Chains A and B, each alone.
Chain A
Amino acid sequence: MSNHAVNIAHKHRDDIGARMGMWLFLFTELLLFGGLFLIYAVYRHEYIAQFRVAAMELNTTIGALNTIILLTSSLTVALSIAALQKGNRMLSILLLIMTNILAFAFMINKYFEWSSKIHHGIYPGSEHLLNLPNGQILFYGLYYIMTGLHGLHVIIGLVFLTTVLAFIITGSVNKDNYVKLENAGLYWHLVDLIWIFLFPLFYLIQ
């Protein structure tokens, strides 16, 4: 280890700066989603009864299942970082693969959820939807935009995590240099955080 440390010591590296850069990026994401949550808040206030009616259509079980999947994937990525810090490379790889599988499972659920909605004629611009009252149209518009943007983040997170997984396997991300894994983890936790708010706002209105 000491030999290795000497080898990398002369390379300029700033892990705190790297993490701070990631956090600053996450704040811009917060503002992006914050704007959408603001639109949601105002329209929900305006059409409280219609939002309730529209939300009844959503499948709470799938929503709850996806919440558990995302929370668990947050755990596995946090554990993966801890494992690499402790020098347990194999465990770290295994936990990261598990995170990827869970992210994939989330998207599969999302696919079934959306296709069942679309099958029932509920999608932006559909004839069935346009005949509903304004509040319900707005609810579904927000539902598709917000969960869709979140889903896009899940896919980006998957790519990010898989890239770092490849780095761990080739050894460029290792026990002494794991800030890339930490940043991928931070991104993944943000995806989880956004879902923590999306879930009650869309699926738990009764």
Chain B
Amino acid sequence: MQEKHSHENHNISYSKYLLVWVSLIAFTSITVTIAGIDLGDYTLAIALTIAAIKSALVINIFMHIKFEDPIFKVFLSISGFTLIVIFTLTFFDYFYR
């Protein structure tokens, strides 16, 4: 029964999901529009920033992480951190060899 109650908390209304979907589509059109403009080296940075915002929306709302127990957030941070460490170490090696 305990679990059922914690479940009840992440009953999100349909309209909130729709709102997230609208923002996701909006961000997609922004990223496509920006790609059409020549911004040189900034294009990739902007595209990846928008992709990061979109994934934050998906993870928090669609995947319910915002409403999960803290342990889920800890696990997610650890795996994200691992990925960042791997990327950083590789690029350190790559740039200074």
Chain A residues packing against B (C-beta within 8 Å): 9, 13-16, 19-20, 23-24, 27, 30-31, 34, 38, 41-42, 45, 60, 64, 67-68, 71-72, 74-75, 78-79, 82, 85-86, 176, 182, 185-186, 189, 192-193, 196-197, 199-201, 204-206
B95 CB to nearest chain A CB (Å): 9
Task: Give the contacts of B44-66 with A (CB-CB under 8 A).
Answer: 44, 47-48, 50-51, 54-55, 58-59, 61-64
Cα-based distance from A110 to B57 in the complex (angstroms): 25
A118 CB to nearest chain B CB (Å): 25
Chain B residues packing against A (C-beta within 8 Å): 1, 3-4, 6-7, 11-14, 17-18, 20-21, 24-25, 28, 31-32, 35-36, 38, 43-44, 47-48, 50-51, 54-55, 58-59, 61-64, 68-69, 71-72, 75-76, 79, 82-83, 86-87, 90-91, 94
Asked if B28 contacts A67 (CB within 8 A), the reply is: yes
Cα-based distance from A206 to B25 in the complex (angstroms): 21
Q: Among the interface residues B36, B47, B50, which one has the most CB atoms of the partner chain A within 10 A?
A: B47
* With A38-B87, A204-B31 as contacts: A72 and B21 at CB distance below 8 Å: yes
Asked if B82 contacts A31 (CB within 8 A), the reply is: yes
Asked if B86 contacts A45 (CB within 8 A), the reply is: no
B70 CB to nearest chain A CB (Å): 12
Q: Which residues of A contact B13 (CB under 8 A)?
A: 82
Binding site secondary structure of chain A: helix
Pick the contact of A193 from B55, B71, B90 — CB < 8 Å? B55
Pick the contact of B6 from A14, A16, A72 — CB < 8 Å? A16
Q: Which residues of A contact B55 (CB under 8 A)?
A: 193, 196-197
Asked if B38 contacts A206 (CB within 8 A), the reply is: yes
Pick the contact of B17 from A13, A42, A68, A78 — CB < 8 Å? A78
Q: Which residues of B contact A16 (CB under 8 A)?
A: 3, 6, 69
A184 CB to nearest chain B CB (Å): 12
A71 CB to nearest chain B CB (Å): 5
Asked if B58 contacts A82 (CB within 8 A), the reply is: no
Pick the contact of A200 from B3, B11, B31, B94 — CB < 8 Å? B31
A-B residue pairs in contact (CB < 8 Å), sample of 22: A16-B6, A20-B75, A23-B72, A34-B83, A41-B90, A60-B32, A74-B24, A75-B62, A78-B17, A79-B14, A182-B64, A189-B63, A192-B62, A193-B59, A196-B51, A196-B55, A200-B35, A200-B44, A201-B47, A204-B43, A205-B35, A206-B35
